[in-house]
Amino acid sequence: MPVIQMVEVFPEQVDELAALAKPIWTDHFTPIIGAEQTAYMIEKFQSAPAMRAQMANEGYHYYFFLYDGQKAGYTGIRRDGDSLFLSKIYVEKSFRRKGIASHGIAFMTDLCRREGLRKIWLTVNKHNDGSIACYRSRGFTVAYPLVTDIGNGFVMDDYVMEKWVAPRTLLYVDTCLRTGSRTRELADAFLNAYRKAHPQDTVDVVRLAEADIHCIRGEELERREALKSEGKIDAPEFAEARRFAAADGIVVAAPMWELSFPAILKAYIETVSVPGITFRYGEGDTGCIGCCKASRLLYLTTRGGIYTGAASGLELGEKEMKALSQFFGIPGFDCLFAEGTDLLPPEEVAGRMEQAKSAAAQMARVW
């Protein structure tokens, strides 16, 4: 039976690593991004000088894949906070479909468990269908798109994919106030499927109709501002902000009210918006940098009217939640909705709701 091994690359072996990488990259990426960008990226990221610098200065570790003693490919990884970044995993063409990539990902999964890392994440070109399918089959899901300027007029147009190793906490913010809420029906479809697909995860539920969430004003506002100025972000007043910031994923269910969402959700957003917890002041276009751990936020909503056509400019809830996700440092944003629920015939509304609930359940399985 063939033996697959991973052998760490030492600095004196980097020339050998670069020689292995160049033909693999040339063969794999030229049909996807063209010869010019492929050559540029090899020089920038996979040349011997580039990889030596990555190992010396950026915490990268490279490994050769050996298949019955033959060098069959390689992988590069580095620790990223409480995650493992899978920078590269490539197998030479004649050695593919022999279990080498699976062996490497199993090694990384075990490494995460030993070192207390919670997930593996990577970037993959959006048009690299074969690799995307390969990662999906090994437990990775698409988290969000990412476009990176790499210089010389080139960009990397990627998906970020992730594979969770440790249990997650999903924060569910229920903004539905009416009995028989259609939006809650949509959320229930998502949550039921999520719990079934991810039984090890915790679903932390905040029901705003039952919580002490209100407009902050008067003495309460002054007290919160004083605590912020003193840096006392561990105060009980900021418990909801810490809860929001610590979640691994966030789902917000909010019906469309007055072109946006219920006022209680705005009050909740004000409650969790605390510098030093969910964001911090810094440089950039907004002057703020998000601090939340979540990589994804899902906004679930139903709309009585139809706002995907001529009236799209009037829909404000999705737009605001997407902007807030960016503000809080949550890169992945999705919106799932059913609309026309107060305008269309009952049988058509029922059909639209079933279609939306089916989509919600399907999304939950790969979250």
Residues annotated in the binding site, as ranges? Answer: 302-305
Residue numbers in the known binding site for FMN are 302-305
Strands 141-151 and 119-125, by their bridges, are unpaired
| Tokens, residue 168 | 């997650």
d(CA 38, CA 160): 20
Helix (H, G, I), strand (E, B) or coil at 142: strand
Helix (H, G, I), strand (E, B) or coil at 276: coil
d(CA 237, CA 284): 28
Q: C-alpha distances in angstroms, 62 versus 2, 4, 136? A: 22, 16, 23
d(CA 327, CA 273): 10
Is the distance from CB of 178 to CB of 366 less than 8 angstroms? no
CB atoms near residue 1 (< 10 Å): 4
